[in-house]
Amino acid sequence: MVERRPLLTLVTHLTLILGAAFIVLPVWIAFVASTHAASDFLSGVMPLWPGDQLVENYWKVLGTGEAAAGTPPIGLMLFNSTVMALSIAVGKIAISLLSAFAIVYFRFPLKRTAFWIIFLTLMLPVEVRILPTYEVVAGLGLLNSYAGLSLPLIASATATFLFRQVFLTIPDELTEAARIDGAGPMKFFRDILLPLSRTNIAALFVILFIYGWNQYLWPLLVTTDTGYYTAVMGIQRMVAVPDSEPLWHLIMATAILAMLPPVVVIVLMQRLFVQGLIEQEK
């Protein structure tokens, strides 16, 4: 702070407190809704304080799910989300580390072509090419499978470019020293590049885990078997009940559970997350 201005400091804190309240409010309401019985919503006004049905509601969604809407127990959906998010994060990081290594540390014909092919994928989010991508996945028989859920989302270049940036900042002297010591490329990759990129890998993992966990449209298309529903898309099936009021208490319990893992990841890994986000976008 450049100078002391008590009034301005007060206004600053008030702004932040009001801002934080605005940010937290919808989740508080959702949490409150998830602790009431269905009958509590009939009176007309949404309660503002938690009720006494917390254990019952969460036990119900975790155990049996909402059979009327055709959704499986949230436990299974959370498991599917975890598999999908981990496959996407690990898969992207693995293929990107390898291809960035090839692009930065080798000279070979068609290198430029390979670079641009990968670069192209930055341009088109999956939302834009859903129909043909869906047809490819259906043609390969990957509907209702973990591979179908994650493989198409692994094809994106952001991670490759991040690792390329990281590798370019690693001094040439290290490579020279490794070569003089007789290390081959893969040994150099494993013993020098990987340890040096450790924090970047961790930061990117946080971002990609959240990206994978929060996928919506793609799982909605490729899963028709409830056994492969993910938590984030399963919500929509519960919301879209025909001809009746949605079961708010169960939907909100599911919503809270579906947002909990990525939120915990961010809160615990805040520093890594911010670093990863800013690096990824550079």
Query: 37-40, long-range: CB within 8 Å, 24+ apart, which pairs?
Result: 37/249, 38/247, 38/248, 38/249, 40/249
Binds another protein by CB under 8 A, chosen from 4, 39, 44, 169: 44
Binds another protein by CB under 8 A, chosen from 69, 235, 250, 272: 235
CB 47 within 8 A of CB 40: yes
In a 3-state reduction of DSSP, which class is residue 277?
A: helix
Q: How far is the CB of 70 from another protein (least distance, A)?
A: 16
CA angle 218, 92, 270 (to 5 degrees): 90
Q: How far is the CB of 219 from another protein (least distance, A)?
A: 11
Judged by beta carbon, residue 1 or residue 55, the one nearer another protein is 1
| C-alpha span between 158 and 98 (Å, rounded) | 14
Binds another protein by CB under 8 A, chosen from 78, 85, 232, 250: 232
Site residues for another protein, window 161-180 (CB under 8 A)? 168, 172, 175-176, 179
Structure tokens at 257: 């559970």
Binds another protein by CB under 8 A, chosen from 6, 23, 49, 243: 23
Residue count of the chain, please give it. Answer: 282
Q: How far is the CB of 195 from another protein (least distance, A)?
A: 18
By CB under 8 A, tell whether 90 contacts another protein. no
Site residues for another protein, window 210-229 (CB under 8 A)? 210, 213-217, 220-221
By CB under 8 A, tell whether 41 contacts another protein. yes
Nearest to 216 by CA among 259, 183, 179: 259
The torsion angles phi and psi of 133, rounded to 5 degrees, stand at: -65, -40
Q: Is the dihedral angle over the CA atoms 21, 24, 26, 27 positive or is it negative? A: negative
Q: How far is the CB of 196 from another protein (least distance, A)?
A: 14
By CB under 8 A, tell whether 29 contacts another protein. yes
Site residues for another protein, window 179-198 (CB under 8 A)? 179, 185-186, 188
Number of residues that bind another protein (CB under 8 A): 107
Q: Dihedral through CA 235, CA 237, CA 242, CA 247, nearest 10?
A: -30
Site residues for another protein, window 108-147 (CB under 8 A)? 108-109, 111-112, 114-115, 117-118, 120-125, 127-133, 135-137, 140
